[in-house]
């Protein structure tokens, strides 16, 4: 009897099998208001899908393959790199994700998975967090410098991890202590009141 033909696995099946080892990444752009006009910078964000933890991997005026290879080296570091939590990295078909980038990660045991063209739904978790970063933080400010931009991103990432409940995690926090179940509700803020979070205090 001839062997059964190989059946292509669905994307859903692949994600279910590799979920705990999967990291997704994507770029988004931010416009800075400078004295001479508008400067556009590119931000690379990564997300560990199982934990929802995010990481700003780098910011560049114009990403190049050499820059991205250095990012790959940094994030694949076995002690401090964000990619140490995963074995697969999914990304779109941007030309900057070239062979050197792929080879650098492969040498560290990370397999890159290139998504089909025009398929943002296959990278929906990162697309959604980019939307949150924009709508909840960056779009509310006129950003004048890289320093201000980096500060806003740092503050948002802390809020996202430690103070923002996540429906995909059963409304738990990614990190930080869960709030009390009893006591007076207290509102606390970050970024001058733009980001709010709540806890309970006794008394």
Average pLDDT, the chain: 87
More confident residue, 73 or 34: 73
Is the CB of residue 115 less than 8 Å from the CB of residue 93?
yes
Tokens of 186: 């207290």
DSSP string for 39-57: EEEEEEEEEETTTTEEEEE
Cα angle 21, 178, 18 (rounded to 5 degrees) comes to: 10
- Architecture (CATH level 2) of domain 11-201: 2-Layer Sandwich (3.30)
Question: What pLDDT is attached to residue 176?
Answer: 66
Question: Bridge-partner residues for 77, per DSSP?
Answer: none
pLDDT tens digits, one per residue of 168-201: 888 888 886 666 666 677 777 788 888 877 777 7
Confidence of residue 55 (pLDDT cuts 50, 70, 90): very high
pTM, to two decimals: 0.86
pLDDT in tens, 64-115: 999 999 999 999 998 889 998 889 999 999 999 999 999 999 999 999 999 9
Report how many helices (DSSP H) and strands (DSSP E) the chain contains, helices first: 5, 7
Sheet holding 53-60, edge to edge: 53-60, 37-48, 22-34, 88-91, 111-114
Show me where the domains of the chain are located.
11-201
Residue % of the chain over a pLDDT of 70:
90
Are 105 and 89 in contact, with CB atoms under 8 Å apart? yes
What sign for the dihedral angle of Cα 190, 192, 196, 200?
Answer: positive
CA geometry: angle at 78 spanning 149 and 129, to 5°? 35
Average pLDDT rounded to a whole number, residues 39-44: 97
What distance in Å separates the CA atoms of residue 109 and residue 29, rounded to the nearest whole number? 29
Q: CA torsion sign, 9 to 12 to 13 to 16?
A: positive
Q: What is the mean pLDDT of residues 42-47?
A: 97
User: Residue 146 CB: number of other CB atoms within 10 A?
Assistant: 15
């Amino acid at each position: 009897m001839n062997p059964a033909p190989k059946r292509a696995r669905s994307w859903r099946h692949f994600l279910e099998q590799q979920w705990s080892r999967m990291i997704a990444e994507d770029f988004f752009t931010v416009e800075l208001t400078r004295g001479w006009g508008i400067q556009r910078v590119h931000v690379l964000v990564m997300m560990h899908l199982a934990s929802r933890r995010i990481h700003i991997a780098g910011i560049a005026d114009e990403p190049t393959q050499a820059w991205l290879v250095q990012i790959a080296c940094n994030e694949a570091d076995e002690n401090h790199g964000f990619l140490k939590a995963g074995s697969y990295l999914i990304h779109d078909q941007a030309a900057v994700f070239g062979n050197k980038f792929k080879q650098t990660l492969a040498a560290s045991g990370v397999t890159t998975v290139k998504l089909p063209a025009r398929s943002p739904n296959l990278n929906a978790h990162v697309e959604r967090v980019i939307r949150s970063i924009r709508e909840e933080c960056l779009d509310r400010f006129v950003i004048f410098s890289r320093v201000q931009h980096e500060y806003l991103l740092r503050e948002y990432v802390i809020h996202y991890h430690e103070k923002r409940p996540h429906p995909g995690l059963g409304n738990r926090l990614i990190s930080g202590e869960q709030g009390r179940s009893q006591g007076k509700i207290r509102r606390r803020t970050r970024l001058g009141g733009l980001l709010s979070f709540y806890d309970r205090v006794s008394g």
